Amino acid sequence: MLSTGRHLVLGDIDGPHRLWIRDPLKGSALAYVIVRDEAIDLRQAAVQRLDRRLAGAPPMRLPPGFAPTPFQQRRLNMLLDILDAVLGRERTGITTHEIARCHVYPAMSIGRGNEWKSSAERRRTQRLIDEALALMNGGYRALLRG
């Protein structure tokens, strides 16, 4: 229980329901509050899905955009691994070349020196590092919108 209410994660076959319940009064009915923004359609679908489950209906498929695809999951996991490596640079001294070798191109032999500095692999690795940092610095909010 937090001072702002209670955060709950209810498990379901088709994916969890994440709720924030603000100090409910005993015996009072629950109300759904939906923020009216660019994600309103997704929010309404989530409320409808939860309401159906609370009424005892069978699970329904997740609406499109509700959860990342398997490809998006792999990419986001890779970006998290890259971010961990970048943030640990002071401690570990890991280089961009090692990040590429460990996280982006694990099955490839990546050259060193001038070959590495002028390679497409180096440019892509740097773009992925930039993307991981951008997600950390607020870009993750776009993921929440679906």
Instruction: Provide the percentage of residues in the chain whose pLDDT is more than 70.
Output: 94
Which position has the higher pLDDT, 31 or 123?
123
45-66: average pLDDT: 81
Q: Is the pLDDT of residue 60 over 80?
A: no
Q: Is the pLDDT of residue 75 over 70?
A: yes
Task: Give residue-wise pLDDT tens across range 89-137.
Answer: 878 888 899 999 999 998 888 788 888 888 899 999 999 999 999 999 9
Distance in angstroms (rounded) separating the CA atoms of residues 15 and 59: 9
Q: Rounded to two decimals, what is the model's pTM?
A: 0.64
> H helices within 31-69, ranges in order?
40-54
Query: pLDDT-derived band of residue 81, with 50, 70 and 90 as boundaries?
Result: very high
Domains of the chain, by residue range, sit at 6-54, 70-144
Query: pLDDT-derived band of residue 27, with 50, 70 and 90 as boundaries?
Result: confident
Weakest mean pLDDT among 16-25, 29-38, 82-91, 116-125: 16-25
Weakest mean pLDDT among 20-24, 80-84, 98-102: 20-24
Buried b (16+ CB within 10 A) or exposed e, 102-118: ebbeeeeebeeeeebee
29-47: average pLDDT: 84
Distance in angstroms (rounded) separating the CA atoms of residues 63 and 43: 10
Q: Is the pLDDT of residue 4 over 80?
A: no
Provide the phi-psi class of 5: left if phi over 0, else alpha when psi is between -120 and 50, else beta. left
41-47: average pLDDT: 85
